[in-house]
A and B are shown apart, each in its own frame.
Chain A
Amino acid sequence: MAFKMSVQGFKGKIGEVTIGTGYKAITLGGQNAVAFFEAEGEGANLPKVGLEILDIYPEEWIPSLQEIYKDVAQDPAQWAKFVEEKFNPDFICLRFMGADPNGLNKPVEECAQIAKAVAEAISLPLVIAGTNNHEKDAKLFEKVAAAVDGHNCLFLAATEDNYKAVGAAAGLAYQHKVGAESSVDINLAKQLNVLLGQLGVKNEDVVMNIGCAAAGYGFEYLVSTMDRIRLAALGQNDKTLQMPVITPVAFETWGVKESIAELEDAPEWGAREDRGIAMEVSTAASIITVGSDAVILRHPKSLETLRTFIGALV
């Protein structure tokens, strides 16, 4: 008898979410099997890789990155345009560090103008990340969502504290895409999707950010969370978890000691830039391997490496 490959065959399918408009729009998700199991499923869109920019000058970034962006980073719109022309990632993530109440606490009206200028300067899809202050983000996203109306942006993110405001502004009033952020907690990930659904936000307008950890910092737990979510979505056909996943890798990996220790403090570790890239690349590659549909990176070298990696996997 000829050998017959045993195939799992899942009932569920991850929905597809499109971000951006025009020919550079990207679509996340669509798979009906766990990551890279082509024999068991099909339809997955390739994982997408985006680059991060800020609404303020990146004072805290490593000198070599500041060097790359020094002529454009005073103006987020120019910066975005530069990133598109020079590195052409799948999308750009504009992160509103300057709006943080514990920092510059820029008014939301000013942020809205920045977002509008950035969206109009590029043809790449735009992901908009907030301050992580849930109260401020609710107000920020309300204004920004109106300012970038029609650009089909993804907002990071709605949380348990502010999902009503963020979901209503980004998901309902202006028909952008809503990121649902849970911090490595499967039950909360599901709950948040349920709550957004009850609010009226459609499943196909939601992308999950299930949380992130740098490799070595509780990363296994993140991986098991990702696995569990996908097995419920595909195996149990749980519609409340059939959303694509985006992982803001850069937000975590550039803050751990391997990425911030200066050369003189840890000479045996080698150059700081190399370490930062290594942390970013290893974390992003690992989370893509378990099924993340998009990652946000900071260093253009990491972008290049991940593209080669994804190209080699499929």
Chain B
Amino acid sequence: MEKFLVIGERIHCISPVIRKALAERDPEPILKRAKEQIDAGADYVDVNIGPAERDGEELMTWAVQLIQSNFDNVPLALDTVNRKAIEAGLKAYNSEKGKAIINSADAGPRIDLFELAAQYDAKIIGLCAKEGIPRDNDERMAYCTEMLEKAMEVGMDPTDILFDPLFLVVKGMQEKQNEVLEAIRMITEMGLKTTGGLSNISNGAPKHIRPKMDAVFAAMAMQAGLSSAIINPCDKELMETIKTCDVIKGNILYADSYLEL
């Protein structure tokens, strides 16, 4: 198995600092967060610019070029519901260090993003959803299959799709957790890759217990086959858990200093 792929989530327009920096085209806060995440071990940096309806194309182009030119063409996940902004980002993107990830398509109105992924040879996150949260795993797997068919139709390699089963909050949806883990297992058994916004599961929980919840969920999900996640790589407990799972699963070779790598 390949090493777990870490997509750093901290460049997100929901953060006031980032929102302001994006609006004012101020490089410093964005570069700072990119660096923190890369230093902490992120393989990809997610760039969430929000819907950016007014200037999305220009904004995504600026952000992609800014981060890639400062960090040796680090691979990026382009995160917005604005299709034109994604396309502009893909045009500006340098894939020397890895294909771009489109974040994200679904089996509903955003299924046409698979065409964009094929056209620009990008990876894509496919949410196993159409409208809202899937009711059960039958629905999840149906959406997964629909997206897979679409991807094959446009000529994509199935391993370039990262299927997101939708992680659900524990506090309030406790009974759904096993089902999500089972979905990861089913998708993995089809030889496909998975990802998701891991910290969803600890939403609303007190701040000091969230790293523990995230880390344990990550370990259980990795045992079910989870191959990547969108996380905060600066969360040390979570990162050390992921590295240790990678060692136990044989995805990376053990050395006494493995946590420092």
Contact = CB atoms under 8 A, between A and B. Distances in A.
Contacts of B251: 236
B129 to A, nearest CB: 32
Nearest to A229: B253
B261 interface: yes
Contact of A187 (B2, B3, B255, B260): B255
B253 A228 contact: yes
A159 B158 CA distance: 45
B257 A187 contact: no
A232 interface: yes
B253 A187 contact: yes
B257 A238 contact: no
Looking at chain A's contact residues, the main secondary structure is helix
A275 B253 CA distance: 38
Contacts of B261: 194, 240
A191 B3 contact: no
Nearest to B251: A236
Interface in A73-124: none
A241 interface: yes
Contacts of A194: 255, 257, 260-261
Contacts of B3: 236
B259 to A, nearest CB: 11
A190 B256 CA distance: 9
B136 to A, nearest CB: 36
Interface of A: 186-188, 190-191, 194-195, 198, 228, 232, 236, 238, 240-241
Interface in B200-249: none
A240 B253 CA distance: 10
What are the 7 closest A-B residue pairs judged by CB atoms, nearest first? A190-B255, A191-B255, A232-B253, A194-B257, A191-B256, A187-B254, A190-B253
A236 B257 contact: no
B66 interface: no
Nearest to B254: A187
20 contacts: A187-B253, A187-B254, A187-B256, A190-B254, A190-B255, A191-B256, A191-B257, A194-B255, A194-B257, A195-B257, A228-B253, A232-B252, A236-B2, A236-B251, A236-B252, A236-B253, A238-B252, A238-B253, A240-B255, A241-B253
Interface residues of B, number: 11
Best-surrounded residue of A194, A228, A241 (most CB of chain B within 10 A): A194
Contacts of A195: 257
Interface of B: 2-3, 251-257, 260-261
Nearest to B256: A191
Given A228-B253, A232-B253, A238-B253, 10 more contacts: A186-B253, A187-B255, A190-B253, A194-B260, A198-B257, A232-B252, A236-B2, A236-B253, A238-B252, A240-B261
Contacts of A228: 253
Best-surrounded residue of A188, A240, A241 (most CB of chain B within 10 A): A240
A194 B261 CA distance: 8
A232 B257 CA distance: 16
Contacts of B254: 187, 190
Best-surrounded residue of B2, B253, B256, B257 (most CB of chain A within 10 A): B253
Contacts of B256: 187, 191
A190 B257 CA distance: 9
Contacts of A190: 253-255
Nearest to A189: B255
A232 B255 CA distance: 12
A191 B256 CA distance: 6
Contacts of A186: 253
Contacts of A188: 255
Contacts of B255: 187-188, 190-191, 194, 240
Nearest to A191: B255
B252 to A, nearest CB: 6
